[in-house]
A = this chain, B = another copy of it.
Amino acid sequence: MRTPDRPTIADVAAVAGVGVGTVSRVLNGGVNVRESTRQNVLEVIERLGYRPSHLAAALSRGTQRTVAILVPHLTRPSTVARLAGALAVLDEQRYDTIVCNVDTPEQRDHHLAALTARHRADGVIVVSVQLARQHLAAFRRGAVPLVTVDVLAAGVPQTVIDDVAGGRLATAHLLGLGHRRIAFVGDIAARRTTCELGFASSRRRLVGYRRELAAAGMAPGPELVRLGPHGPAVAAELTERLLRLPDPPTAIFAASDTQAMGVLSAAEQCGFPVPGRLSVVGFDDIESAALINLSTVRQPLEQSGAEGARRLCALLHGARVRPLRQQLPLRIVQRSSSGRPAAAGPGSARSHPRPAGANVRSAERGRFSSHAFRRASDIWPGRRHAGPVEGVA
């Protein structure tokens, strides 16, 4: 009976007239194999079209060199940046990467269950997806090495930013420019029952916004905080309502750059020149933020993915990962979507001089004004600088 299936290492050995061990040695590194033997074996491999089974090799060797990464909403630019950063490192470390994209809590639970119930990957990176107590328990019970990125999780190596500090940074920037009526546009959990994915960041940035205003002796009226499902279209709608207020805000802090784009669209549509009548600050500094000259709070997205991957690799090597919580730095990147308010209301700009008209003029040239395509590198020296801190939870 011939073998109609793929040839195995035994077939190669038989044809070449050597033992399986020799073939295996030729395949891997090939130390201590006579050159003539090696050539012979290689030739047979070529002739038979033999392809070693990764599966069998991994089983035998006891390590599959595969990790899984769980990301929410793959199509969002910030997610992609993180994923790309992780892939680059894992690639370099010769790991294969299984990507699990989740858009709903059901998908999240399904994938997490699959990853913890069976030994599918050597380790898992969870990005921007909140993990409930039972999820963490599943990882622990299965002894599945886990790191998170952009997620707080007790006892798990995590690479995060201080969203609250980021919220303060953005708000302080706008306050510093002289704004007093500052609105917030962010995410809200779509359903109450099951914590919507990625909702936490927006909420914490909102906290930062409130704290910074409070520190300046202000409290935003409830009409200035608008929340809705993630996405530029919704953000635009929320912004339109803000701009139709009797006393519209002079600045808007959007919880993400994606939403900031919606804000900019709405501003254009409502005839609010930016930054002439409206300043806009986003969050993330995604690639296109520079393109449309959006002032924003920069977080190292790609680096976060890379760091997560690096730490997982360390974990798989048996190293202890310290500190457990790795905090990446944030900074304001000022571009031309934010400037001094055009005309301050009476008594509202106590500590800041009246802005000159220059900003208004340049604003009339549109958002892609003089700054367009100058790779913005101005950094606003905020009082609170979330520097490269590495602290433990």
Report how far A101 CA is from B82 CA in the complex, Å: 13
- In the complex, per-residue mask of A49-91: 1 if CB is within 8 Å of any chain B CB, else 0: 1011111111100001010000000110100110110011001
Please state if B269 and A372 are interface contacts (CB–CB under 8 Å).
yes
Please state if A119 and B52 are interface contacts (CB–CB under 8 Å).
yes
**A33 at interface, CB cutoff 8 A:** no
Q: Which residues of chain A (214-264) have a CB below 8 Å from chain B?
A: 232-233, 236, 261-262, 264
Say how far A66's CB is from chain B's closest CB, in angstroms. Answer: 8
- Residues of B within 8 Å of A291, CB to CB, are 232, 261-262, 265
**A287 at interface, CB cutoff 8 A:** yes
- Given the known A-B contacts A59-B55, A119-B55, A120-B54, are A233 and B373 also in contact in the complex, defined by CB atoms under 8 Å? yes
- In the complex, per-residue mask of A202-217: 1 if CB is within 8 Å of any chain B CB, else 0: 0000000000000000
**A99 at interface, CB cutoff 8 A:** yes
Stretch of A15-23, A351-359, A362-370 contacting B (4+ beta carbons < 8 Å): A362-370
Contact of A84 among B101, B292, B365 (CB under 8 A): B101
Report how far A91 CA is from B81 CA in the complex, Å: 22
Q: Which residues of chain A (6-28) have a CB below 8 Å from chain B?
A: 6
- In the complex, per-residue mask of A280-291: 1 if CB is within 8 Å of any chain B CB, else 0: 000000011001
- In the complex, per-residue mask of A115-128: 1 if CB is within 8 Å of any chain B CB, else 0: 01111100000000
Please state if B49 and A6 are interface contacts (CB–CB under 8 Å).
no
Please state if A87 and B101 are interface contacts (CB–CB under 8 Å).
yes
Report how far A373 CA is from B352 CA in the complex, Å: 36
Please state if B51 and A119 are interface contacts (CB–CB under 8 Å).
yes
Residue of B nearest to A270 (CB): B372
- Residues of B within 8 Å of A75, CB to CB, are 77, 80-81, 84, 287
Residue of B nearest to A98 (CB): B96
**A142 at interface, CB cutoff 8 A:** yes
Contact of A118 among B53, B232, B268 (CB under 8 A): B53
Please state if A74 and B49 are interface contacts (CB–CB under 8 Å).
no
Report how far A53 CA is from B100 CA in the complex, Å: 19
Please state if A119 and B74 are interface contacts (CB–CB under 8 Å).
no
Please state if A80 and B87 are interface contacts (CB–CB under 8 Å).
no
Contact of A366 among B88, B91, B367 (CB under 8 A): B367
Report how far A59 CA is from B369 CA in the complex, Å: 61
- Residues of B within 8 Å of A265, CB to CB, are 291-292, 368, 372-373
Report how far A120 CA is from B365 CA in the complex, Å: 55
Please state if B74 and A118 are interface contacts (CB–CB under 8 Å).
no
Report how far A261 CA is from B141 CA in the complex, Å: 49
- Residues of B within 8 Å of A77, CB to CB, are 75, 77
Please state if A98 and B98 are interface contacts (CB–CB under 8 Å).
yes
Report how far A98 CA is from B65 CA in the complex, Å: 12
Please state if B87 and A74 are interface contacts (CB–CB under 8 Å).
yes
Say how far A99's CB is from chain B's closest CB, in angstroms. Answer: 5
- Residues of B within 8 Å of A292, CB to CB, are 265, 292
- Given the known A-B contacts A80-B80, A287-B75, are A143 and B96 also in contact in the complex, defined by CB atoms under 8 Å? no
**A266 at interface, CB cutoff 8 A:** yes
19 contacts between A and B (CB under 8 A): A51-B119, A53-B59, A54-B118, A54-B119, A54-B120, A74-B80, A74-B87, A84-B101, A87-B101, A88-B101, A99-B99, A261-B288, A261-B291, A264-B368, A266-B372, A268-B367, A269-B368, A269-B370, A271-B365
Besides A75-B77, A97-B99, A265-B373, 14 more A-B contacts (Cβ < 8 Å) are: A51-B118, A51-B144, A54-B118, A56-B59, A74-B80, A74-B83, A77-B77, A91-B100, A98-B98, A98-B99, A236-B373, A269-B368, A366-B366, A366-B367
* Top-7 shortest CB links A-B: A268-B368, A269-B372, A366-B366, A99-B99, A54-B120, A55-B59, A53-B119
